[in-house]
Amino acid sequence: MKILAPLNSPEETEMLLANGAEELYCGLVPEEWVARYSGAIWLNRRSPAGGNLRTFSDLARVVQQAHGRSVPVFVTLNAQTYTASQLPLVLDLARRYVEEASVDGLIVSDPALILELAKQDLPCALHLSSIAASLNVAAVRFFQSLGVRRVILPRSLTLAEIGRIACEIGSQIELEVFILNDGCIFEEGFCLTTHHRSVGAFCVGLARMDSQSFKLSGAPWASGEEEEINTLLQDFHRRIDALTNYACSARPQTALPLAPCGLCAIPAFHRMGISAVKIVGREASSLRKLASLRLVRAVVEKTRNGALEEAVQGYAQTLRESVAPCVPGEMCYYNAGATTNRSHLRESAGRWR
């Protein structure tokens, strides 16, 4: 189980490698794409200005440094779809990523692009982005038949669902899971909005919107029905608030986000044979990337050293307390270890250094 870390600058490469990154991923949006489509149409799922490298020489520098430590580098081409007029340019960029910069893999989601890349026979792996919403074994096997070597499972899957996929797939294909920082409550594969820093995202504002409940039939509410619906709606709004608005905020003294995570699930992923745990945040500051990597590395190392699962979960939650409140059940991707006794954690888990 490798630790996969993001970057958006060659200057971050050595920092990440020195602090435990075992795989790296990034995006590159070259000038030819921006000149043709401006910043309004994204080449991948991050803004050209905030989350991507800008030149092939930058990408080559990243790969050279990473390969010096036998660490692979993967590049994103994970827009949900590309138009017929865009595909030739996307395919040319993919070829240049591999041939000019020697990247090890391409992270893709559009089936049409996957089929076209298969014809190119490029010497690199194809990783299926979570944007493709591969939610079950049948979907994983389908994309495997198209030549995909690794599937990034959507964060909406439960531990039990991931376990079933891992059990049935075995070693036939690599599986990757989210572990830190991505805070959306919704299934990204079904989302067609753009999250741009200047306009925000529609989903972030949902928790602030007024709403009314009614039956489609027009019939009146029975006793207690409307109250029950409103309670569910309030819970939904609270969950959005926790995983979007609250998670994207930061503590002024550290500038670190109060992001959700799946650290408590690392022992389970280790048992399942998951290939990589993914830290999200190509667009984040170097400080956030470093702190996130250190959090994940500490828990992974404790797991690799054979610590009991409950002890690892307690340790993970204690680590979170050092940078941001850990709220089991609210800030968890997978709710693993959510019922662990918190006072016991502080006594037994120790502090992260």
pTM: 0.86
CA 80 – CA 140 distance, rounded (Å): 17
User: For residue 346, what pLDDT is reported?
Assistant: 35
Partners of 74 in beta bridges: 25, 105
Please answer whether residues 36 and 89 qualify as being in contact, where contact means their C-beta atoms are separated by less than 8 angstroms: yes
Residue type, 102: S
User: For residue 351, what pLDDT is reported?
Assistant: 32
User: For residue 70, what pLDDT is reported?
Assistant: 98
Say yes or no to pLDDT of 137 above 90.
Answer: yes
Say yes or no to pLDDT of 220 above 50.
Answer: yes
User: What mean pLDDT do residues 194-223 have?
Assistant: 73
Percentage of residues of the chain with pLDDT beyond 70 = 83
User: For residue 182, what pLDDT is reported?
Assistant: 73
Confidence class of residue 198 from pLDDT cuts 50, 70 and 90?
A: low
Give the best-scoring range by mean pLDDT among 24-33, 46-55, 317-326. 24-33
User: What mean pLDDT do residues 247-253 have?
Assistant: 52
User: For residue 114, what pLDDT is reported?
Assistant: 96
Tell me the average pLDDT of the chain: 85
User: What mean pLDDT do residues 344-351 have?
Assistant: 35
Percentage of residues of the chain with pLDDT beyond 90 = 57
User: For residue 115, what pLDDT is reported?
Assistant: 95
- 261-315 pLDDT, tens digit per residue, is 899 999 999 999 999 999 998 988 899 899 899 999 999 999 999 999 999 999 9
More confident residue, 113 or 340: 113
User: What mean pLDDT do residues 152-163 have?
Assistant: 93
- 45-88 pLDDT, tens digit per residue, is 887 777 899 999 999 999 999 999 999 999 999 998 999 999 99
At 240, list the tokens.
């959005």
Say yes or no to pLDDT of 340 above 50.
Answer: no
User: What mean pLDDT do residues 130-145 have?
Assistant: 95
CA 284 – CA 257 distance, rounded (Å): 10
